[in-house]
Amino acid sequence: MRIATWNINGLKARLDFVRLWLETRQPDIVGLQELKTQEEAFPHDVFEDLGYHALVHGQKAWNGVAILSRQPGELLHKGLAGQDGFGARLISARFDDLVFETVYCPNGKTLEHDDFPRKLAWFDDLAEHWRTHHDPDQPTVLCGDFNIAPAALDSWRGADGDGSLFHTAEERRRFDALLALGMHDLYRAHHPDGNAFSWWDYRGGAFHRGHGLRIDMLLGTSAVRDRVEAVEIDREFRKKQDGLTASDHAPVYADLR
């Protein structure tokens, strides 16, 4: 079984690109972030034609998350309790042998912006949501765009980035708190020294200069980690395909036994 996470930066603008990726990689369950689409406008027919069911939590213009799956899932959660004002950022579903949750974590904007403390509080609520609703002894996935580079190895700036947005001790403490609830970073578990990134700014030729961050994660409980055969950051699909513009994020996928 292949599971994946991908911040697509706008579903309407990315639809043909997403279709190409689904046809090429054939994932079974995908968490999508940054739909920037209202639920009423979600093109269910397009995904049905490709063989996917979709559960959607959308809003106008910004944010928005969805789960695509070969088999229908049972909706568990739409939105993070108490955080509705911060946008449509969480959706989860139960599949036969797996609980799958995907999140679009707040960016924070700058260290001085009000959104930065709100970002930290959002992570605190996410951890509380996990303690309340999920079981570390069950096969469970938490994936998405975390907007945190957990360690120096996850940033093109290395330790020089420490203290800047995505690299602060406060953000990294929040990420580590999720791991402490019984989650494992599947890419890092499989590639202990891997220096691959999942996001590159559109500006300044960042992709070609290698100026990236690893902020898109597949986290899994021990039962998931023990089934992992491969974890890949799909860098090829951060590039233009057939003249179609890529998202600023690459898909990340894992193959489970």
From candidates 23, 43, 49, 109, binder to DNA by CB under 7 A: 109
184-185 sheet: strands from edge to edge: 74-78, 90-95, 98-104, 140-145, 216-220, 184-185
Contact between 239 and DNA by CB under 7 A: the answer reads no
Task: Map residues 137-176 to x or -, x wherever contact with DNA holds by CB under 7 A.
Answer: ----------------------------------------
Q: Do residues 239 and 24 touch, judged by C-beta distance below 8 A?
A: no
Interface segment toward DNA; rule CB under 7 A; list 48-56, 92-100, 102-110, 135-143: 102-110
Task: Map residues 198-217 to x or -, x wherever contact with DNA holds by CB under 7 A.
Answer: ----xxxx------------
Q: Which of residues 26-85 bind DNA (CB under 7 A)?
A: 36-37, 60-62
Residues 231 and 58: their CA atoms lie apart, in Å, by 28
Q: Which H or E run contains 232?
A: strand 228-233
Task: Give the shortest CB-46-to-DNA separation in angstroms.
Answer: 14
Residues 247 and 176: their CA atoms lie apart, in Å, by 27
SS3 81: coil
From candidates 4, 5, 6, 14, binder to DNA by CB under 7 A: 14
Residues 35 and 44: their CA atoms lie apart, in Å, by 13
**Binding residues vs DNA (CB under 7 A):** 9-14, 36-37, 60-62, 106-107, 109, 115, 202-205, 245
